[in-house]
Amino acid sequence: MNRRSMIGLAAAAVTLGLAALPPAASAGGVSGKPTVVLVHGAFADSSSWNGVIQRLQRAGYPVLSASNPLRGLEPDAAYVRSVLDSVKGPIVLAGHSYGGAVISAAAVDHPQVKALVYIAAVIPDRGESTGELTTRFPGNTLGQNLLRVPFPLPGGGTGTDLYVKPSAFHRHFAADVPAGTAALLAATQRPAATTALEEKATKTAWRTIASWALLATEDRAIPLAAQRFMAERAGSRTIEVKASHAVAVSQPDRVAKIIFDAARSES
Secondary structure class of 58 (helix, strand, coil): helix
- The pLDDT of residue 102 is 98
Residue 7 lies in a domain: no
Contact by Cβ (8 Å): 40, 46: yes
Residues 128, 83, 108, 93, CA torsion sign: negative
Residue 6 lies in a domain: no
Secondary structure class of 17 (helix, strand, coil): helix
Residue 249 lies in a domain: yes
- The pLDDT of residue 17 is 36
Characterize the bridge pairing of strands 158-164 and 192-193: antiparallel
Residue 21 lies in a domain: no
CA Rg value for the chain:
19
| Segment holding 22, helix H or strand E | none
**What is the distance between the alpha carbons of residues 76 and 196, in angstroms, rounded to a whole number?**
8
Q: Is the pLDDT of residue 29 over 70?
A: no
The set of residues, in sequence order, having a beta carbon less than 8 Å from that of 92 and lying 6+ positions away, is 34, 35, 36, 37, 113, 114, 115, 117, 259, 262, 263, 266
Other CB atoms within 10 A of residue 160 CB: 13
List the CATH number of the domain containing 132.
3.40.50.1820
The pLDDT-based confidence of 23 (bands split at 50, 70, 90) is: very low
**What is the distance between the alpha carbons of residues 118 and 145, in angstroms, rounded to a whole number?**
24
At 44, phi and psi to the nearest 5?
Answer: -145, 180
Residue 20 lies in a domain: no
At 87, phi and psi to the nearest 5?
Answer: -90, 135
Query: Can you give the residue range of the structural domain that contains 168?
Result: 29-266
What does the pLDDT look like over 190-249, one tens digit per residue?
A: 999 999 999 999 999 999 999 999 999 999 999 999 999 999 999 999 999 999 999 999
Residue 5 lies in a domain: no
Q: How many domains does the chain have?
A: 1
Residue 246 lies in a domain: yes
Characterize the bridge pairing of strands 63-66 and 158-164: unpaired
The pLDDT-based confidence of 30 (bands split at 50, 70, 90) is: low
pTM metric for this prediction: 0.89
**What is the distance between the alpha carbons of residues 222 and 140, in angstroms, rounded to a whole number?**
6
Residue 157 lies in a domain: yes
Mean pLDDT of the chain: 91
Contact by Cβ (8 Å): 118, 95: yes
Of the chain, the percentage scoring pLDDT greater than 70 comes to 88
